[in-house]
Amino acid sequence: RHSAAAQMDSSPQAGCVLSSGGGLNLSFLREDTPGLSAGSVRIHLNAAGSSLPPRPVVSCVQKALQEEAEMGGYEFLKQPHRAAELEEVYRLCGRVVGASGSDEIALLDSATTAWSSAFWAWCTSEECVGLMRKVGRSPKTGKFGGRILASHCEYGSNAMQMLQLSRKVSDISGRDVEIVVEFLPSDSYGQVDLAALRRTLEASAGRVRGPGGES
């Protein structure tokens, strides 16, 4: 949510965003966030889908809302400079994550939509299906494919997408392909049991694959 990328590009305060060691300057960022500034000792962790906005974001939203109120929403978007502004958002997001170009960035309406889009795009791609075929056939079913390892604390909508894929993959990629979703056991703290994860991976040695190949 923060405007660090924009400030690193053009703001006279650019040097304040980064510390002398190259990391983020937390003191500056806290002071630049109204909900945390002015000596506040608040620790705000509820930022899953809507974190505390910093001053540049608040200012930008207020300015846009005022302009929209004066000319209307459709006219606001039709202004000649809007396309360049939107393109700049993609460029700056790419700069933050080290993307080679803005065409590698997708901005969507929610994390759920974004995760689902990336998940389905990869799992139904020719590359992924090709990797599943290289893994070999299951000794139980005789089909090509693999497993998706998930935890019991997986975000609900993500788990639903995994299960839906396991039911539909044969229709998408051919009836000789299958995907099995396997939920790993949890430890006494409710986290993924790392020992169980290790055993699962070791039992699948040479059969665990991703975009980078075998691992």
- Please identify which residue in the block is written with the tokens 């995907």: 179
Identify the sign of the CA torsion 32, 36, 41, 47: negative
pLDDT mean over 86-102: 87
Better-scored residue on pLDDT, 24 or 93: 93
Q: Tell me which range, 7-11, 82-86, 125-129, 201-205, is most confidently predicted by mean pLDDT.
A: 82-86
User: Can you tell me the distance from the alpha carbon of 108 to that of 119, in angstroms, rounded to the nearest whole number?
Assistant: 14
pLDDT mean over 40-56: 83
Confidence of residue 171 (pLDDT cuts 50, 70, 90): low
pLDDT mean over 43-59: 86
pLDDT at 174: 61
Half-sphere exposure of 119 (CA within 13 A, CB side): 18
Q: Compute the CA torsion angle 106, 65, 35, 4 (nearest 10 deg).
A: 40
Checking if the pLDDT of 159 tops 60, the result is yes
Quote the mean pLDDT of the chain: 80
pLDDT mean over 61-79: 94
pLDDT at 76: 92
> Cβ distance 145 to 178 under 8 Å?
yes
> What is the C-alpha radius of gyration for the chain, rounded to an integer number of angstroms?
23
User: Can you tell me the distance from the alpha carbon of 180 to that of 186, in angstroms, rounded to the nearest whole number?
Assistant: 19
pLDDT at 212: 42
> Cβ distance 2 to 54 under 8 Å?
yes
In the structure encoding, which two tokens stand for residue 144, read together?
């090509």
Better-scored residue on pLDDT, 178 or 98: 98
Better-scored residue on pLDDT, 63 or 19: 63
Confidence of residue 129 (pLDDT cuts 50, 70, 90): confident
pLDDT at 125: 83
Better-scored residue on pLDDT, 208 or 55: 55
Confidence of residue 165 (pLDDT cuts 50, 70, 90): confident
pTM listed for this prediction: 0.63
Strand partners, 180: 147
> Cβ distance 183 to 146 under 8 Å?
no
Q: Letter for the amino acid at 63? A: K
pLDDT at 186: 92
Region of 38 please: left (phi>0), alpha (psi -120 to 50) or beta.
Answer: left
Q: Is 169 exposed, middle or buried (0-12, 13-18, 19+ CB in 10 A)?
A: buried
User: Can you tell me the distance from the alpha carbon of 184 to that of 207, in angstroms, rounded to the nearest whole number?
Assistant: 17
User: Can you tell me the distance from the alpha carbon of 168 to that of 174, in angstroms, rounded to the nearest whole number?
Assistant: 10
